[in-house]
Amino acid sequence: MDKNKILFIDDEEAILKVLSISLKSDGYDVVTARSGTEGIALFKKETPGIVLTDLKMPGMDGIEVLKRVKKINTDAEVIVITGHGDMDSAIDALKYGASDFINKPVKDEALKIALERAREKLTIRDTLNSYTMDLENMCEIAIGEVKRKSVFQDKLITSSNDGIVATDEDGVIIIFNPGAERIFGYARIEVIRKMHFQQLYPEAITEEFNSGFRRRRGKKGWGWKEVIIKNKEGSEVPVQFSGTLLYDEETVIGSVGFFQDLREIKRLQQELVNSERLAAIGQTVARLAHYIKNILAGLKGGTYIVNIGLDKNDTDKLKTGWNMVQKNVARVSSLVADLLSYSKEREPEYQNCSPNDIAQDVCELMESKAAENEVEIIREFDRSIRSVSMDPNAIHRSLLNLVSNAIDACIYDLDVTKKKHRIQVKTKLEDNDTISFEVKDNGTGINDEVKAKLFTAFFSTKGGKGTGLGLLVTQKLIQEHGGSIKVASKTGKGSSFQMRLPYRKIS
Amino acid sequence: MAKKVLTVDDDPDISAFVKTVLEENGYNAVIAKNGETGLSMARKEKPELVILDVLMPKQSGIKMYRELKSDVALKNIPVIILSGIAKRTFLRSQEALTEFGDLPVPEPELYIEKPVEPDELAEAVKSLIGG
């Protein structure tokens, strides 16, 4: 549309000519038509910004021209020329959207002003249009950007593997992503704007969040920690939780909590524990089977020798065989006793006894095994120890285990310097109503790897000759007696096992 | 004159059992309770067969076996390994020692895993040195 182009329609050629010249001299581009019909055709062709039309014309009159022009382009300015005293038509014209009217005879001045006004209107409308257009464009761009960001954030939240739960400043949940759905078992629509975080979070977190909400200032967030939440079905779900309050300046505007599902991790951990336990049971059974197989071999061997002795009436053979049978029966009894005391809780049975006598008895029992293997047992008993109330059986069994181990440590010592093997068995009265029993040897010693496994069930360094129960049972007896056991050792130098047991005074 | 067999085992039960089996089958049994005495008895007694355990204190059967088979005067004495450990484990330990620079030694004439039945042991001895 050309603002400078005027379409001038009048059935009087004289007026057309005169005014056209005058308008052209004012800088307008003028096209003329002598009838309404011709005018409309020209309007379509030339797209003028302003139409100047006489109202009274034969055929299509000015009002009709006005209507049609407005129908083709509402933005076109139409000025109507009215005859003298034809005010009604002028008002009609304004009603149909004419921008102005001037009276006949047309005065140059009046026309100029009307045209100026029309042109101004067009300019203003143009500017307005472009403003509007710009505004719309900018709006669209801004909306697009906001949308993009929001979609991005939305995607970020929904695609997160972790559960994300956000609330407004009142604690009402406004974000609940699929991760949270998986952990809590609720669907988004059940939660968003319908539930308060207190209904979902475990008590400990709820309290901390609430205090944060009340304080307005202070603690902002909580680092990762493991908590248990209850899901929709009421089952407990272990999660790793981290959360923070959201502030706008100093004011709390909401909160957000992040939840990592630990169920899979816990399941894998459990599986690992189970498989380790199965492996341990396997080892245990294999070791026990091996140990029992050895005993069985001894029993079979003994029986064989007894049979030969019977056949030949050979007393020596009978004795040897019978000894073997008895010894291996004793091994079975001892294994069963160890297994029982390992597997059962046992209360110490306090009796009046003399600890030194017990130690003496243990040394005497082990004397022959020690002498056979060229090991000397040295007794260092504290004479100030009197009769006390303790569990003599527990002391006896523990001490016997320690001395027997010490002899083995000497027997299995591969030291080539032919050192003299010695075992010291010491008793000592200590403060706090405690008696210390120490067994010290100069045998193989224990390396750190073995030391770490000393009190592990069924661990043994003695091949098929140990059950791996001795020290474990010893430790258990000592603990049940309220005492403690301490190990010091150096590879190649020997070991010291010291047990401290509290006693009761004889009442 | 009965053939002499040396039994080396730290477990007196096994020694007594093996000794009885041997004597029942007409052999003369001598006993040592570790590798160290075992080796010196082998030199002194000149047995026709050695029955050897592997896991023993003082000197293990692994080491005694090597010394036996490296000694010009003793290496032709056949050896039965009678042990609670598997043959595979014993052979691997010998390979390992060879890798560490010792001279290679031949495999034992027989390897019996414990426990052993009297008849099985008697047969084994008979197959190596005759009745």
CA–CA gap between residue B41 and residue B23 (Å, rounded): 19
Q: Based on the structure, what is the number of domains in chain A?
A: 4
**Chain B interface disruption, residue of A296, A299, A414, A461, most B CBs within 10 A:** A414
Cα→Cα distances A397→A62, A300, A476, A485, A500, Å: 131, 28, 11, 14, 14
User: What letter represents residue A215's amino acid?
Assistant: R
The DSSP annotation for A138-179 comes to HHHHHHHHHHHHHHHHHHHHHH-SSEEEEE-TTSBEEEE-HH
Range of the domain at A279: 269-336
Q: Indicate yes or no: CB of B115 within 8 angstroms of CB of A464.
A: no
Residues A235 and A308 in one domain: no
Whose tokens are 């472009």? That residue is: A130
**Chain B interface disruption, residue of A325, A328, A373, A416, most B CBs within 10 A:** A373
CA–CA gap between residue A462 and residue A405 (Å, rounded): 10
Q: Residues 20 to 39 of B: which have CB under 8 A from any A CB?
A: 20-21, 24
Residues A447 and A362 in one domain: yes
Chain A residues close to B118, C-beta within 8 Å: 304
Q: pLDDT tens digits, residue range B58-83?
A: 677 888 898 999 899 999 999 999 98
Confidence of residue B122 (pLDDT cuts 50, 70, 90): very high
**pLDDT value of position A308:** 93
More confident site: A285 or A79: A79
Structure pTM?
0.50
Nearest CA in chain A to B58: A414
Residues A242 and A302 in one domain: no
Are the beta carbons of A441 and A402 closer than 8 angstroms? no
- Which residue in A290, A296, A412 is closest to B57 by CB distance? A412
Structural domain includes residue A147: no
CA–CA gap between residue A254 and residue A256 (Å, rounded): 7
Task: Select from A243, A261, A279 the last residue of a domain.
Answer: A261
Are the beta carbons of A363 and A377 closer than 8 angstroms? yes
Structural domain includes residue A324: yes
The radius of gyration of chain B from alpha carbons, rounded to an integer in Å, stands at: 14
Nearest CA in chain B to A303: B17
CA–CA gap between residue A175 and residue A256 (Å, rounded): 9
Residues A63 and A166 in one domain: no
Q: Does position A166 have pLDDT exceeding 90, yes or no?
A: yes
Structural domain includes residue A165: yes
Structural domain includes residue A144: no
**Chain A interface disruption, residue of B17, B90, B114, most A CBs within 10 A:** B17
CA–CA gap between residue B108 and residue B115 (Å, rounded): 18
Residues A408 and A434 in one domain: yes
∠ CA A500-A377-B10, nearest 5°, is 110
**pLDDT value of position B118:** 92
Task: Select from A226, A261, A296 the last residue of a domain.
Answer: A261
Q: Does position A216 have pLDDT exceeding 60, yes or no?
A: no
**pLDDT value of position B58:** 66
- In sequence order, the 6+-apart residues with CB closer than 8 A to the CB of B4 are B27, B28, B29, B30, B45, B46, B47, B48
Q: Using a CB cutoff of 8 Å and minimum separation of 24, what contacts does A28-32 make?
A: A28/A4, A28/A115, A29/A2, A29/A4, A29/A5, A30/A5, A30/A6, A31/A5, A31/A6, A31/A7, A32/A7, A32/A8
CATH of residue A360's domain is: 3.30.565.10
ipTM: 0.82
Q: Indicate yes or no: CB of B13 within 8 angstroms of CB of A302.
A: yes
The radius of gyration of chain A from alpha carbons, rounded to an integer in Å, stands at: 55
CA-based nearest residue to A390, from A361, A358, A360: A358
Neighbour tally for A291: CB within 10 Å: 23
Residues A124 and A191 in one domain: no
On whether any CB of chain B is under 8 Å from the CB of A17, the answer is: no
Helix A392-411 vs helix A355-372: crossing angle, to nearest 10: 30
Whose tokens are 């101004």? That residue is: A120
Are the beta carbons of A373 and A407 closer than 8 angstroms? yes
For A415, list phi and psi in degrees, rounded to 5. Answer: -55, 130
- Mean pLDDT value of segment B79-104: 83
Q: pLDDT tens digits, residue range A101-148?
A: 888 888 888 888 888 888 888 888 888 888 888 888 888 899 999 989
CA–CA gap between residue A205 and residue A196 (Å, rounded): 13
Confidence of residue A457 (pLDDT cuts 50, 70, 90): low
Q: Does position A74 have pLDDT exceeding 70, yes or no?
A: yes
Q: Does position B124 have pLDDT exceeding 90, yes or no?
A: yes
Residues A122 and A15 in one domain: yes
Distance between B41 CA and the closest CA of chain A, angstroms: 18
Chain B residues close to A463, C-beta within 8 Å: 55, 84-85
On whether any CB of chain A is under 8 Å from the CB of B57, the answer is: yes
CA–CA gap between residue A410 and residue A420 (Å, rounded): 9
On whether any CB of chain B is under 8 Å from the CB of A405, the answer is: no
On whether any CB of chain A is under 8 Å from the CB of B67, the answer is: no
Question: Which superfamily, per CATH, for B4-129?
Answer: Response regulator (3.40.50.2300)
Number of A–B residue contacts, CB under 8 Å = 50
CATH of residue A13's domain is: 3.40.50.2300
Structural domain includes residue A279: yes
Residues A48 and A95 in one domain: yes
CATH of residue A208's domain is: 3.30.450.20
pLDDT above 90 coverage of chain A, percent:
40
Q: Indicate yes or no: CB of B14 within 8 angstroms of CB of A301.
A: yes
Distance between A184 CA and the closest CA of chain B, angstroms: 56
Residues A363 and A276 in one domain: no
**pLDDT value of position A444:** 87
